Structure 1
Amino acid sequence: MSFSNPTLITFVIYIAAMVLIGFLAYRSTENLSDYILGGRSLGSFVTALSAGASDMSGWLLMGLPGALFVSGLSESWIATGLIIGAWLNWYFVAGRLRVHTEHNGNALTLPDYFSHRFEDNSRVLRVLSGLVILVFFTIYCASGVVAGARLFESTFGMSYETALWAGAAATIAYTFVGGFLAVSWTDTVQASLMIFALILTPIAVMLATGGIDPTLAAIEMKNSEAFNLFKGTSAIGIASLMAWGLGYFGQPHILARFMAVDSVKSIPNARRIGMIWMIACLVGAMAVGFFGIAYFAAHPEQAQPVIQNPERVFIELAKILFNPWVAGVLLSAILAAVMSTLSCQLLVCSSALTEDFYKPFFRPNASEKELVWVGRAMVFAVAVIAILLATNPNNRVLGLVSYAWAGFGAAFGPLVLFSVLWKGMTRNGALAGMLVGAVTVIVWKQFGWLGLYEIIPGFILSSIAIVVFSLIGPKPTKRMVVRFERADREHAAS
């Protein structure tokens, strides 16, 4: 690995810029609210791109192109489900959650919101939701570390063990220092880099294979089934891929962006920006993998790394087709995707440990400065655990992400939806829904019944549990109903 390597220089400049943004955000971080939610000051543009970048992890540039490269368009069902789910989340949850969190104790985290929304004086709801976040997000963080390590390993020839730490170090640095503002500002830069890479790369691949018609003809010749949307699928398989969209309602790192927006009036514009960005990125990522079939069919001598690991298709195409300086910028997009999601996950875990465990149970009178520094310490602690979990180089990004995504989607998705849409929901309903959703995902994952993605039974059973236990138990208090109606009116008037 030479320090005159253009790709390495590009990476170093990029990482230095992200860390600099972290230090700039440090100057605007005065209390725990600033560190966790940026003082609820995000505009629509930053909210949209930050939500998108925190959502689309290394999976966008590695897992998805790899799936299209191997199986063709039949893997596009997942993108369709994600687009539908993301739009529904923006439309039904974003504005309502922004208002409801403010009316319920100005909550900074989801466990804090649940605790105030359902007047849970026992703190059981806060503790259990905090534990769900820590368990599933630590797995999710590990997937980000794996993606970053694979990038450094394949780009610079590092050992996997060295690449683990190199890939995570910069993310830990700016998240540790700058908190939510650093994460959101860097997300905006990273989202811009990602869309640039995912528009430019498929165009370059297509040109390298002779244009759109020769490219499609080459794909047809290599694998005629690649165009078949239903190849190797079943009703259950398609439903499982589409069901990824259900996960959006329960992802704490995405919901945190909704909570941090400066005003509910900013949500419609943020929704438009966010959805345009998301659709462009998903189409670009699929095109990279799909057009890659044609390129490597024409250049089999260059195909060995992709045959060994299809998730490297974007990395290899960028290195082959572009000048090393441009390739460095494009490969930085993978680092951007990894860093943007990993930083959000680290911050949410830190927030849960600080706001939902440390402050209420150990130091209720802790100063704001102390809480910020505890939050920073928790960022580092969770990162180390995630790195240790990622030490197995045979991990697959998509497999790890799918488990964590389902866990949050089933445990928190129905809970968040019902909490902002139904004033009759109670604490018992919330507890039952969260536990049933989480346990269903864990059990279903182990047994793999019907080949059905575990988020579907988890989401359905969680929703049923919320309704049943809310109806058969104690009714919501008058204060809960009044707060709900006041928040609902504010949202309707926006």
Structure 2
Amino acid sequence: MSVSNPTLITFVIYIAAMVLIGFMAYRSTNNLSDYILGGRSLGSVVTALSAGASDMSGWLLMGLPGAIYMSGLSESWIAIGLIVGAYLNWLFVAGRLRVQTEHNGDALTLPDYFSSRFEDKSGLLRIISAVVILVFFTIYCASGIVAGARLFESTFGMSYETALWAGAAATIAYTFVGGFLAVSWTDTVQATLMIFALILTPIIVLLATGGVDTTFLAIEAKNPDNFNMLKNTTFIGIISLMGWGLGYFGQPHILARFMAADSVKSIANARRISMTWMILCLGGTVAVGFFGIAYFSAHPEVAGPVNENHERVFIELAKLLFNPWIAGVLLSAILAAVMSTLSCQLLVCSSALTEDFYKTFLRKNASQLELVWVGRAMVLVVALIAIAMAANPNNRVLGLVSYAWAGFGAAFGPVVLISVIWKGMTRNGALAGILVGAITVIVWKHFELLGLYEIIPGFIFASLAIYFVSKMGAPTAGMVERFDAAEKDYNLNK
């Protein structure tokens, strides 16, 4: 392997630590609620950091810094949109969803919540939402496995096939063994590692390029438009980038963190911690790509790998500017970003298969131990399917990540948001919202209408469908009673 020993040793120690955490969580996993939601026992710090880490994948340390390096600050609109969307999700959804799921059958999954909240005896809401989760998250998992494989391939000189299994094995191991608690505890470690890397790296790059004034002059000399937030942008383009923030309302792996908080009282503190973490991480990411322009302009002799693939800007800066041991820790942050998101996605897919299909339709009286082991088996099944999809790294399905984000955001976002703030919403309204949101995304994407990101029309049309279809009927007395009780509980404890 073409790798320095310190980097290899650092990676091995890091992966071993994550698997060890999985075995520690195994001891606290006694039933399906523990495996899927950690027994609703997460404190504010773990809730905050696991929500952040599960959201930010390898894109945070590879994709976004590379885009900034290539095009300057005009690529940062997406970061602004994500910060606004995440804050609104914490503010309006997090606490209310925590309480609503508890009052609606102690729901463990989103399909479970929809089914209980709207008294859906037909099972249609549960089936459709579970299928949406399985289809889109399997695609997501495949993309995460490819990102991990690319990291191992470039860092250790492995073949892609070997790197594929090496990158996925540790994540599968701790998710399989420890379930939600393992995923949340490792996410907390991974979030800490990510913020350490994204605060330290831009500071060292800034020092290496001669300080703020010298760095900014070098960036301006390279291209004055690097500072122009509106370079090569249009109104539609900016709205589309900002629109990524709408996706937060419908991402099952992030919403699961809200559902798992130990109480509503933890949410406000978790929001402050999570948003601080997110702003610092995204700011650091933008700074790495931006300051990288100055560094590689001053050192063109080492710019080859970055010019060949701009997404390597963080990797190359870590290797060039840090002691190999520290570089190993920084590069582990990329693995942390990949593993934290992949593990959450595997667990949400496992939850949908176990709670929403196996327990509901096949084995209603299954024991808790049986359900936990079925959940573990489903982690393996989804992981193997994702690895098979990722075996061809050029497979077009891996380009569908933004499509999947839009699909979740439009199909689930309005349903989740409106269900926790409006008691007049009905079962048919929820069904209409999911279908209209998903269909709009598919049609809009196919025809590429107006050049507008499909999540925006999907979210708007789904919201309108929920309102008008709900107005054609009325919620049952039981639905209103549970909503009012949950809202009262939320207001007393927030």
TM-score range, shorter chain: over 0.9
State the SS of the aligned residue for 1:262: coil
Which one-letter code corresponds to 1:292 in the other structure? G
Separation in structure 1 between the aligned mates of residue 189 and residue 310 of structure 2, nearest angstrom? 27
Which one-letter code corresponds to 2:410 in the other structure? A
Separation in structure 2 between the aligned mates of residue 187 and residue 401 of structure 1, nearest angstrom? 21
Which one-letter code corresponds to 2:439 in the other structure? V
Root-mean-square deviation (Å): 1.3
Contact 2:142 2:398 in 1 (8 A): no
Separation in structure 2 between the aligned mates of residue 31 and residue 25 of structure 1, nearest angstrom? 12
State the SS of the aligned residue for 2:61: helix
1:138 corresponding residue in structure 2: 138
Which one-letter code corresponds to 2:389 in the other structure? L
2:342 corresponding residue in structure 1: 342
Alignment of 1:126-165 (within 5 A): 126-165=126-165
Alignment of 1:40-119 (within 5 A): 40-119=40-119
What is the aligned length?
Answer: 493
2:287 corresponding residue in structure 1: 287
Contact 1:410 1:437 in 2 (8 A): yes
State the SS of the aligned residue for 2:392: coil
Contact 1:93 1:420 in 2 (8 A): yes
Contact 1:35 1:178 in 2 (8 A): yes
- TM-superposed CA distance for 1:392, in Å, is 3.2
Seen in structure 2, the aligned counterparts of structure 1 residues 392 and 305 have a Cα distance that, compared at 3 Å, is: farther
Contact 1:59 1:397 in 2 (8 A): no
2:230 corresponding residue in structure 1: 230
Separation in structure 2 between the aligned mates of residue 279 and residue 320 of structure 1, nearest angstrom? 26
- TM-superposed CA distance for 1:396, in Å, is 9.5
- TM-superposed CA distance for 1:294, in Å, is 1.0
Separation in structure 1 between the aligned mates of residue 394 and residue 300 of structure 2, nearest angstrom? 24
Contact 1:146 1:395 in 2 (8 A): no
Separation in structure 1 between the aligned mates of residue 244 and residue 420 of structure 2, nearest angstrom? 21
Deviations 1:197-248 (A, max 9, x none): 0001111111111111111111111111111000010000000000111010
1:328 aligns with 2:339: no
Contact 1:250 1:411 in 2 (8 A): yes
Alignment of 1:376-415 (within 5 A): 376-394=376-394, 399-415=399-415
1:189 aligns with 2:193: no
Separation in structure 2 between the aligned mates of residue 189 and residue 397 of structure 1, nearest angstrom? 30
Seen in structure 2, the aligned counterparts of structure 1 residues 399 and 220 have a Cα distance that, compared at 3 Å, is: farther
2:458 corresponding residue in structure 1: 458
- TM-superposed CA distance for 1:152, in Å, is 0.7
1:479 corresponding residue in structure 2: 478
- TM-superposed CA distance for 1:395, in Å, is 6.6
Which one-letter code corresponds to 2:100 in the other structure? H
Contact 1:350 1:382 in 2 (8 A): yes
Which one-letter code corresponds to 2:52 in the other structure? G
Contact 2:406 2:441 in 1 (8 A): yes
Residues 291-300 or 229-238, more deviating: 291-300
Separation in structure 2 between the aligned mates of residue 465 and residue 3 of structure 1, nearest angstrom? 55
Which one-letter code corresponds to 2:48 in the other structure? A
2:492 corresponding residue in structure 1: 493
Which one-letter code corresponds to 1:303 in the other structure? A
Contact 2:2 2:157 in 1 (8 A): no
Which one-letter code corresponds to 2:350 in the other structure? S
Seen in structure 2, the aligned counterparts of structure 1 residues 221 and 2 have a Cα distance that, compared at 3 Å, is: closer
- TM-superposed CA distance for 1:2, in Å, is 6.4
- TM-superposed CA distance for 1:162, in Å, is 1.5
Deviations 1:396-426 (A, max 9, x none): 9994431221111001000000100010101
Seen in structure 2, the aligned counterparts of structure 1 residues 276 and 398 have a Cα distance that, compared at 3 Å, is: farther
- TM-superposed CA distance for 1:316, in Å, is 1.2
Separation in structure 2 between the aligned mates of residue 135 and residue 443 of structure 1, nearest angstrom? 17
Identity value in percent: 80
Separation in structure 2 between the aligned mates of residue 309 and residue 415 of structure 1, nearest angstrom? 40
State the SS of the aligned residue for 2:39: coil
Which one-letter code corresponds to 1:475 in the other structure? A
- TM-superposed CA distance for 1:388, in Å, is 1.9
Separation in structure 2 between the aligned mates of residue 51 and residue 299 of structure 1, nearest angstrom? 38
1:374 corresponding residue in structure 2: 374
1:219 aligns with 2:219: yes
Gaps of 5+ in 1: none
2:246 corresponding residue in structure 1: 246
1:35 corresponding residue in structure 2: 35
State the SS of the aligned residue for 1:108: coil
2:22 corresponding residue in structure 1: 22
Separation in structure 2 between the aligned mates of residue 389 and residue 314 of structure 1, nearest angstrom? 27
Separation in structure 2 between the aligned mates of residue 158 and residue 270 of structure 1, nearest angstrom? 40
Contact 1:63 1:398 in 2 (8 A): no
Separation in structure 1 between the aligned mates of residue 396 and residue 206 of structure 2, nearest angstrom? 28
Deviations 1:25-60 (A, max 9, x none): 000000000000000000001100010000111111
Which one-letter code corresponds to 1:150 in the other structure? R
Contact 1:146 1:397 in 2 (8 A): no
Separation in structure 2 between the aligned mates of residue 310 and residue 385 of structure 1, nearest angstrom? 30
Which one-letter code corresponds to 1:370 in the other structure? E
Separation in structure 1 between the aligned mates of residue 423 and residue 3 of structure 2, nearest angstrom? 60
State the SS of the aligned residue for 1:39: helix
Separation in structure 1 between the aligned mates of residue 305 and residue 459 of structure 2, nearest angstrom? 38
Separation in structure 1 between the aligned mates of residue 161 and residue 292 of structure 2, nearest angstrom? 29
Contact 2:47 2:261 in 1 (8 A): yes
Separation in structure 1 between the aligned mates of residue 114 and residue 147 of structure 2, nearest angstrom? 32
Which one-letter code corresponds to 1:282 in the other structure? L
Residues 361-370 or 395-404, more deviating: 395-404
Contact 1:63 1:397 in 2 (8 A): no
Separation in structure 1 between the aligned mates of residue 44 and residue 395 of structure 2, nearest angstrom? 36
Separation in structure 2 between the aligned mates of residue 393 and residue 305 of structure 1, nearest angstrom? 20
Contact 1:59 1:398 in 2 (8 A): no
Contact 2:85 2:247 in 1 (8 A): yes
Gaps of 5+ in 2: none
Deviations 1:423-449 (A, max 9, x none): 010111101100111111122222211
State the SS of the aligned residue for 1:119: coil
Contact 2:73 2:227 in 1 (8 A): yes
Structure-1-length-normalised TM-score? 0.98
Separation in structure 2 between the aligned mates of residue 446 and residue 164 of structure 1, nearest angstrom? 31
- TM-superposed CA distance for 1:100, in Å, is 0.1
Structure-2-length-normalised TM-score? 0.98
- TM-superposed CA distance for 1:88, in Å, is 0.4
